[in-house]
């Protein structure tokens, strides 16, 4: 991948050359400044110094021994070598600063060191800026590609590599149409008039958006890719929801409209009129329950706050909903209850709604003469279990039972008068109370039927 900023960066060697370039216009006269003469003055006296030492060494060799001259000359050579190296280094440092003319050597070196430190800080700041920008682009959940005029990948962020399963070293520089193979995407790259495509890739829905240049020039372009799988799923759920609500309301409205028309247009005796009015009342009740369940679901889904955490007598709620279920059954089912005293923290209304939906479903989907058992037990947790002897539910339907308006048998559900929202409400109540909903069912054998179980983790037994 390439750096995000293309402005030039200077290393220390480059900075030194940059400083030297600033004083490249100095001529020989500048070297003759006071500072330069001070620095190079000892070098001009070297011939006289060497001659004096040589004469002294020769004289001493005649007075004493010849090896004195050899030692003196060797020491002189070593000293001259060190002096030349030191002065050459100082002169080079002095020549690198254009402002060194007429300035002491110490000030010139201080200025050079200051500019070197400034250069180091500039390099550090630029490196930190590049790292920060890389962190920002890598934190973006969307894929970002920088493409050249030929639609080759110049740079991409980490999300793009993961989303499209690319390799930064292998795939950068290749045409993106070779890596993301889709005729619709290739046509979108070449045609400015095409709308942004949503393409299915690897089981996901990917939205592509290309930022084209406003001036019409063919330069670098930014391609954004976004995973919209969840959005597409929500849109599909919304469409299904509208269709299901419309379907659920259309049937009772059609029945009510037909009965009203019959009562209005035909002469009916009191018995027939009463029967039609009773059917109208039943259909109106079904629509009212549907609207109430929809409002309950909407409130739970939109309410981000947890339910009120007050001690709630779950055993009392279980006995109340059991009485309602017996009234709904009208004596056609056998009820067995084993309710232990139990208290949980939560909302009494929501818990009553959840247990009521479980028992009403058991009544509706258990044939007459069947058995319905309600059990509330307390151990390490509070467990509420509703078990029936109905026809049971096939395993492939179990994962979808808590979806809104999902029906195993739509014709049978229509006959029983259910809204298709009961288990969806139970699921949301369980989530809001940190409980776990378990569903078991058998469609054949001696133990055919379904079991719905709620486990509450935080309890206090009474």
String of DSSP letters for 306-348:
PPP-EEEEHHHHHHHHHHHHHHHHTTSSEEEEEE---EEEE-H
pLDDT digit string (tens) for 156-191? 888 888 888 888 888 888 999 888 888 888 888 888
Lowest mean per-residue pLDDT among 48-52, 77-81, 258-262, 391-395: 48-52
Contact (CB, 8 A) for 349 and 340:
no
SS3 labels along 91-144 = HHHHHCCHHHCCCCHHHHHHHHHHHHHHHHHHHHHHHHHHHHHHHHHHHCCCEE
pLDDT score for 252:
79
Domain borders along the chain are 12-133, 140-227, 232-302, 310-460
Q: What is the mean pLDDT of residues 325-330?
A: 89
42 has pLDDT over 90: no
Tell me which range, 25-29, 59-63, 74-78, 374-378, is most confidently predicted by mean pLDDT.
374-378
| 165 CA to centre of own chain | 17
Question: Quick one: which of 208, 202, 222, 95 has its CA closest to 154?
Answer: 222
372 has pLDDT over 90: yes
Residue 362 half-sphere exposure, CB side, CA atoms within 13 Å?
33
Name the more confident of 407 and 164. Answer: 164
pLDDT score for 23:
39
30's tokens: 């500048």
pLDDT score for 317:
93
399 has pLDDT over 80: yes
* Distance, CA of 224 to CA of 196 (rounded, Å): 11
Q: What is the mean pLDDT of residues 147-164?
A: 88
Name the more confident of 306 and 446. Answer: 446
Lowest mean per-residue pLDDT among 244-253, 265-274, 399-408: 244-253
* Distance, CA of 120 to CA of 136 (rounded, Å): 24
151 has pLDDT over 60: yes
CATH 1.10.287.130 fits 232-302, yes or no: yes
pLDDT score for 10:
38
* Distance, CA of 346 to CA of 13 (rounded, Å): 71
Q: Which CATH superfamily is domain 140-227 in?
A: PAS domain (3.30.450.20)
CATH code of the domain made up of 310-460: 3.30.565.10
What is residue 173's three-state secondary structure? coil
Q: What is the mean pLDDT of residues 220-249?
A: 81
| Mutual angle of helices 67-95 and 46-63, in 10-degree steps | 170
* Distance, CA of 162 to CA of 167 (rounded, Å): 9
* Distance, CA of 292 to CA of 248 (rounded, Å): 13
458 pLDDT band, cuts 50/70/90, is low
Lowest mean per-residue pLDDT among 52-66, 338-352, 420-434: 52-66
pLDDT score for 355:
92
Q: Residue 301 — φ and ψ, nearest 5°?
A: -70, -30
pLDDT score for 203:
81
Helix residue ranges per DSSP H, 379-462: 410-416, 422-432
């Amino acid at each position: 991948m390439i750096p995000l900023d293309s402005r030039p960066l200077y290393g220390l060697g480059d900075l030194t050359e940059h400083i030297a370039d600033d004083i490249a216009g100095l001529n020989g006269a500048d070297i003759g400044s006071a500072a330069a003469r001070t620095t190079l003055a000892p070098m001009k006296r070297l011939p006289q110094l060497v001659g004096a030492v040589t004469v002294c060494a020769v004289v001493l060799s005649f007075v004493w021994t010849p090896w004195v001259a050899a030692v003196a000359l060797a020491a002189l050579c070593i000293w001259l070598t060190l002096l030349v190296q030191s002065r050459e280094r100082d002169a080079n440092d002095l020549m690198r600063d254009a402002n060194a003319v007429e300035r002491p050597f110490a000030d010139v070196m201080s200025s050079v060191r200051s500019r070197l430190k400034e250069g180091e800080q500039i390099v550090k700041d630029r490196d930190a800026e590049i790292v920060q920008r890389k962190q920002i682009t890598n934190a973006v959940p969307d894929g970002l590609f920088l493409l050249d005029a030929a639609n080759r990948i110049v740079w991409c962020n980490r999300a793009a590599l993961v989303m499209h399963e690319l390799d930064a070293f292998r795939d950068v520089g290749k045409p993106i149409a070779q890596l993301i193979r889709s005729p619709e995407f290739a046509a979108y790259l070449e045609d400015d008039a095409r709308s942004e495509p949503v393409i299915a890739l690897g089981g996901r829905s990917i939205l592509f958006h290309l930022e084209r240049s406003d001036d019409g020039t063919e330069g670098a372009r930014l391609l954004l890719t976004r995973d919209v799988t969840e959005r597409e799923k929500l849109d599909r759920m919304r469409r299904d929801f509208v269709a299901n609500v419309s379907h659920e309301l259309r049937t009772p409205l059609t029945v009510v409209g037909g009965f009203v028309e019959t009562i209005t247009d035909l002469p009916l005796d009191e018995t027939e009129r009463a029967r039609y009015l009773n059917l109208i009342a039943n259909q109106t009740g079904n629509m009212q329950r549907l609207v109430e369940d929809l409002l309950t679901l909407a409130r739970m889904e939109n309410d981000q706050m947890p339910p009120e955490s007050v001690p709630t007598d779950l055993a009392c709620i279980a006995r109340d909903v059991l009485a309602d279920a017996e009234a709904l059954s009208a004596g056609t089912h056998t009820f067995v209850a084993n309710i232990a005293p139990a208290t949980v923290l939560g909302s009494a209304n929501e818990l009553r709604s959840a247990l009521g939906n479980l028992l009403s479903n058991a009544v509706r989907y258990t044939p007459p003469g069947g058995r319905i058992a309600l059990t509330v037990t307390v151990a390490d947790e509070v467990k509420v279990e509703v078990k029936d002897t109905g026809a049971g539910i096939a395993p492939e339907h179990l994962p979808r039972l808590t979806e809104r308006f999902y029906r195993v048998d739509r014709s049978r559900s229509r006959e029983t008068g259910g809204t298709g929202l009961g288990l969806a409400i139970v699921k949301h109540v369980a989530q809001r109370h940190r409980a776990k909903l378990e569903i078991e069912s058998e469609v054949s054998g001696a133990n055919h039927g379904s079991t719905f179980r709620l486990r509450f983790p935080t309890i206090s037994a009474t």
